[in-house]
Amino acid sequence: MTRDTSWRRLARNPMAMGGVVVLTLIVLLALFGSGLSVHAIDDVFWDRISAPPDVEAGFYFGTDANGRDLFVRTVLGARVSLLVGLAASLISLVIGVAYGAVAGFWGGHVDSVMMRIVDILYSLPFVFFVILLTVYVGRSLSTIFITIGAVIWLDMARIVRGQTLALKQREFVEAARAFGATNRRILVSHIIPNLLGPVIISMLLVIPDAILTESFLSFLGLGVQEPNTSWGVLIGEGAQSMTEAPWMLLFPGAFLAVTLLAFNFFGDGLRDALDPKE
Amino acid sequence: MAHSDGIGTRRDNSLGGAGLRAGVAGNAGRDASVPEGATGRQLLDVSNLSTRFQTPHGVVTAVDGVSFSLAAGGSLGIVGESGSGKSQTLFSIMGLLPFNAEIQGSVRFEGRELIDLAPVALNKLRGERLAMVFQDPMTALNPYLTVERQLSEVLQYHRGLSRRQARAEALLALQRVHMPESARQLDRYPHQLSGGMRQRVVIAMAMIGSPALLLADEPTTALDVTIQADILDLLAEQREAGTAIVLVTHDLGVVARLCDRVMVMYAGRVVEEGWTREVFSHPRDPYTVGLLAAIPRLDDDLCNPRKPIDGQPPDLLALPEGCAFAPRCFCVREICRRKSPKLLEHDRDGAVACYRENPEALPS
């Protein structure tokens, strides 16, 4: 019943639906977009180093400093970036919400211990952490997921814990208790639904964070290895030749910006649709 | 504390056992009635209940040696100023105290001791045998759940009904509290309802398990006067149907209307207890006298307005040594400032804690 009306509300929100359409297009492009290009990701054209876009020759976005087609690289780079963003928001959703809600709800010593663990993870130098992981896990794409996953949920846990602390003082939680609700029931039926607003917002904030962290890790040589690429890597390269070859920054940057915007429109719509007061 | 040993032994003298079939026997029939010779068989037996809070500024004794009992189908009003411990008494009974609270004494409900009852057993009782109505219906409902979900949650805790059964039950519960257009309200959210309708939902939630005891914490304070009357009628109806009610309020009119017996609290202690009619017509404790004298009446002389009780309610962190009301009392004696009076029974089936009424309690 409730769920139906929420979906209907979401479907009636043009901004949210626009976001969904754009995201779908980008995902489709990431999956099948390489077929639109006549070039492969590692084809090197010695005569076209840092060349501007040339639609007739099939270089829709121009080429990079190594003479490779930027279109196919942007499209394939989307795979890694979208995956990283999605994984990061899922990890912060699942681990962050559960961790923060438990800490905030139980409070007392449980809360103290759990939040000190978060503090410790926060204060670990990130690069040191990365190096440790690389030693033990080795260099691969999964290292990226583990590294980002290990730290990305910390913010969410803190936000959720704070919200839960405030929520559990509310009278309806007391009322539920007075009607015989168990702790688990209160957490699932009363606390978590009321967390949706801030949770969705922080889930979305995590995506650009993760995508940029991935590019940093790739820059360190830990993430994506050449000739594979990601938006973060492309943006990093583009930023170095911003003045002489602006398209190298412009195209991957625009893709990232549009994706983030679409995620935000969708997230706002989702939050409104789930909030009965809207 | 030697509070009120016999207060629980109420018997409906005029009607014998007729009060057991509560709701049928009219006004007198709802008087607290107990099976013959069943002193310890009250529905609710609170004895020597004390609740203390550890605060950064010291220990606050919110409830101090409170004792009372209530028969099945009976109704008791607890009145007093803010901070007199009346709400904390209810929360102590329900086991809804924060972590820094320390509770002593005994709360027996249907023959079971509630204090130190295991959480699982307590959860089974709450909502099923004893339920609570909260002060502010604006905050007592979860803003993210529809009315149907709020109600069926309670059913699901206790009976594990299916969704459809729960919905049917929820509708019945709404009809029982005379919710206008009840079927339509099921799918609405709390913010779409008026204050009075929300309080009806809260009462429906409380009554959905047909509890034996309903604890109401100022159920009309947050409502308009006209709505208040409706909600009081609704509570009276639950009482007629046989549910015992403990009502906490600072509105003496509400007590006069709804409760057979009344208990006046001051600074965590019971200062007077008795039949509502008797207490209101012949108040014995100076505090009760002051409370009653402060109620505005239609025939008041406007040039000579009513006087509130002088002074402030006491600071629970720094209670005076003797009677807590002594600094504000119009008939304070020297002994009152040294030793606080005990609650002693009097011949009109009530009890009062004041040296003026109980001169025999004066130390010789």
Q: Is the pLDDT of residue B234 over 70?
A: yes
| Confidence grade of residue B364 (pLDDT, cut at 50, 70, 90) | low
- In the numeric block, the tokens 């917002």 are attached to A201
* Residues A180, B139: C-beta atoms closer than 8 Å: no
Segment A223-252 shows an average pLDDT of: 83
Average per-residue pLDDT for chain A: 85
b/e burial code for range B283-309 (CB count within 10 A of at least 16 → b): bbbbbbbbbeeeeeeeeeeeeeeeeeb
d(CA B213, CA B206): 10
Q: What is the pLDDT of chain B when averaged over all its residues?
A: 82
β-bridge pairing B130-133 and B213-217 = parallel
For the segment B279-297, the average pLDDT, to the nearest whole number, is: 88
Question: Which chain A residues are within 8 Å of B128, Cβ to Cβ?
Answer: 180
Mean pLDDT is lowest, of A213-227, A228-242, B104-118, B330-344, for A213-227
A61-65, A200-204, B104-108, B230-234: lowest mean pLDDT where? Answer: A61-65
What share of chain A has pLDDT > 90, as a percent? Answer: 20
Pick from B136, B144, B148: CB nearest A193: B144
Decide if B141 and A172 are in contact by the 8 Å CB cutoff: yes
From B157's Cα to the closest Cα of chain A, the distance in A is 6
Interface test with A, best of B129, B144, B210 (most A CBs within 10 A): B144
Which segment of A174-183, B35-44, B116-125, B235-244 scores lowest on mean pLDDT? B35-44
Tell me what pLDDT residue A4 has: 65
* pTM (predicted TM-score): 0.77
**Residue A169 at interface with chain B, using a CB cutoff of 8 Å:** no
Exposed / middle / buried, residue A112 (Cβ in 10 Å: 0-12, 13-18, 19+): exposed
Q: Is the pLDDT of residue B190 over 80?
A: yes
Q: Does the distance separating the beta carbons of A182 and B157 come in below 8 Å?
A: yes
Structure token pair of residue A93: 């959703």
Instruction: Report helix, strand or coil for B117.
Output: coil
Which chain B residues are within 8 Å of A2, Cβ to Cβ? 146, 149
Q: Is B166 on the interface with A (CB under 8 A)?
A: no
B239 by Cβ neighbours in 10 Å (0-12 / 13-18 / 19+) ranks as buried
The tokens describing A25, both together, are 């297009």
- Taking the Cβ of residue A120 and every Cβ of chain B, the question of whether any pair is shorter than 8 Å is answered with no
Residue B325, amino acid = F
pLDDT of residue A154: 92
B99 and chain A: CB distance < 8 Å anywhere? yes
Q: Is the pLDDT of residue B286 over 60?
A: yes
Question: Is the pLDDT assigned to residue B270 strictly greater than 80?
Answer: yes
Rounded CA separation A89/A83 (Å): 10
Checking if the pLDDT of B21 tops 50, the result is no
- The fraction of chain A above a pLDDT of 70, given in percent, is 97
pLDDT at B4: 39
Task: Output the pLDDT for position A99.
Answer: 94
The residue ranking higher by pLDDT, A249 or A2, is A249
A112 touches chain B (CB under 8 A): no
CA distance B298 to B87: 30
CB-based contact B199:B227 (threshold 8 Å): yes
Asked if residue A190 has pLDDT above 70, the reply is yes
pLDDT tens track for B95-125: 888 888 999 999 999 988 998 888 888 888 8
Token digits for A257? 């910006």
The listed range with the strongest mean pLDDT (A69-73, A163-167, A179-183, A259-263) is A163-167
Per-residue confidence (pLDDT) for residue A3, from 0 to 100: 55
Neighbours of A74 (CB within 10 A): 28
Task: Identify the residue among A172, A188, A199, A277 best suited for mutation to test binding to B, counting B beta carbons within 10 A and taking the highest.
Answer: A172
> pLDDT confidence of A8, banded at 50, 70, 90?
confident
pLDDT at position B91 is 92
| B287 reaches A (C-beta below 8 A) | no
How many CB pairs below 8 Å do chains A and B form together?
Answer: 86
Task: Please state, in angstroms and rounded to a whole number, the distance separating the CA atoms of residues A153 and A50.
Answer: 39
B306 DSSP 8-state letter: P
pLDDT at B5: 39
Q: Of the candidates A3, A71, A16, A40, which has an alpha carbon nearest to the alpha carbon of residue A272?
A: A16
Q: Which position has the higher pLDDT, B54 or A212?
A: B54
Would you give the DSSP letter of residue B103? E
- Flag whether pLDDT at B318 surpasses 60: yes
Q: Which residues contact B270 (CB under 8 A, 6 or more apart)?
A: B3, B4, B66, B67, B68, B263, B264, B343, B351, B353
* Phi, psi angles (nearest 5°) of residue B134: -95, 165
Binned at pLDDT 50, 70 and 90, residue B33 comes out as very low
More confident residue, A209 or B133: B133
pLDDT digits (tens, 9 = 90+) for A13-43: 899 999 999 999 999 988 887 778 777 777 7
The structure tokens listed for B339 are 């030793």
CB A80 within 8 A of CB A224: yes
| pLDDT for B275 | 94
> What does the alpha-carbon distance between residue B52 and residue A89 come to, in Å, rounded to a whole number?
45
Instruction: Tell me what the mean pLDDT of segment B123-145 comes to.
Output: 88
Strand order in the sheet with B101-109: B58-70, B44-55, B101-109, B112-113
pLDDT reading at B25 higher than 50: no
In chain A, what residues touch B155 (CB-CB under 8 Å)?
none
Distance in Å, alpha carbon of B284 to nearest chain A alpha carbon:
35
Strands laid side by side in the B75-79 sheet: B130-133, B213-217, B244-249, B75-79, B261-266, B269-275, B350-352, B344-346
Q: Read off the pLDDT band of B306 (50, 70, 90).
A: confident
- Of the candidates A175, A180, A277, the beta carbon closest to that of B123 is on A180
**Minimal C-alpha gap between B306 and chain A (Å):** 36
Amino acid occupying residue A191: I
- Taking 70 as the threshold, does the pLDDT of residue B299 lie above it? yes
Q: Which residue of A has its CA nearest to B133?
A: A175
Q: What is the pLDDT of residue B41?
A: 65
Q: What percent of chain B has pLDDT over 90?
A: 35
Helices A141-167, A192-219: axis angle to 10 degrees equals: 150
Report the pLDDT averaged over residues B326-355.
87
* Residue A140 pLDDT level (bands cut at 50, 70, 90): confident
Q: Is the pLDDT of residue B203 over 80?
A: yes
Q: The tokens of A260 are what?
A: 């983030």
